[in-house]
Structures are given as C-alpha cells and as structure tokens.
Amino acid sequence: MSIQLWPIIIGVHSIERFRLFYEKVFGFIAKEESPHYLAGHIWEAFVEIEEDSPHRLPYWAEGNIGTYKNSEFLVDDIEGFILKVTEYGGSILTPPRAMPWWGSNAEIGDIDNNIFLISQKSL
C-alpha cells in the first residue's frame, strides 16, 4: 500500500495577482494551468494555487483563503527569505526567533494573508 501527501492547497482571490509572489518568493514553477488554477512545485512540494470562483462550494474561500497552512518551509537564509516576502507584498507576522529545538522560525503572510511557517536550521 502506498500513501502520499498530495498537494498543499493555497487559496487565493486572484491567480494573476499571486503568480509573481509565488514565483519570486517561493520559486514556484507552474506545470499545469487552467482558469482559477495553477499546479506545480515549490521546491519538492506539489502545490495547487486555487482561486475563489463561482464554481466553488459555499464557504470555500472562508476555509482556504487567509488561513494558516500547516506546512513548514525550510530555508538556508531566513533573513534573506523574509526580505523577499516583504519585497513582493507579503508580511512578516512573527519575526525570526531562535527555537529551543534546533533553529529559527518565522511566520509570514502572503498578500491574501495565507500564513506559512518558515524555518532555518542552526549552523
């Protein structure tokens, strides 16, 4: 039996508004596109960026846009990464801080306030 975690879903209000943010900040590379939808990779993670649209179920936006994404992105330069986040319109919700277990963590928000945990291992 095989089990895979598939995919990380990021809800947004406008695909075109978000495309540049995810390409420049996260290195997102789209492999599949259709109206209201982009699919591709952020590093090794498969990601779907989905736009709110009339064909969505009721309350879809409420549960998928501006919410905490229970995913952690590991970076090698947390300070440089968060500078990119703000350069492209995102926000720093919790600045980088040392954690007792192994490194530094920060929380960032994209331009629709989707929240991500960013981490850097200690050297």
Task: Tell whether the model's pLDDT for residue 68 goes beyond 80.
Answer: yes
Task: Tell whether the model's pLDDT for residue 88 goes beyond 90.
Answer: yes
Taken in order 27, 94, 103, 101, the sign of the CA dihedral is: negative
Instruction: State the pLDDT at residue 70.
Output: 87
Instruction: State the pLDDT at residue 91.
Output: 97
Locate the domains of the chain by residue range.
Answer: 8-121
Q: Quick one: average pLDDT of 64-91?
A: 94
Which phi and psi (to 5°) does residue 25 adopt?
Answer: -85, -50
Give the C-alpha separation, 121 to 123, whole Å: 6
Instruction: State the pLDDT at residue 84.
Output: 97
Give the C-alpha separation, 110 to 21, whole Å: 8
Give the residue, 72 or 5, on which the prediction is more confident: 72
CATH number of 8-121: 3.10.180.10
pTM of the model: 0.87
Q: Give pLDDT tens digits for 14-54.
A: 998 899 999 999 999 999 999 899 999 988 889 999 999 99
**How many Cα neighbours within 13 Å face the side chain of 82?**
21
Instruction: State the pLDDT at residue 123.
Output: 60
Q: Could you check whether the bond before residue 100 is cis, i.e. omega within 30 degrees of 0?
A: no
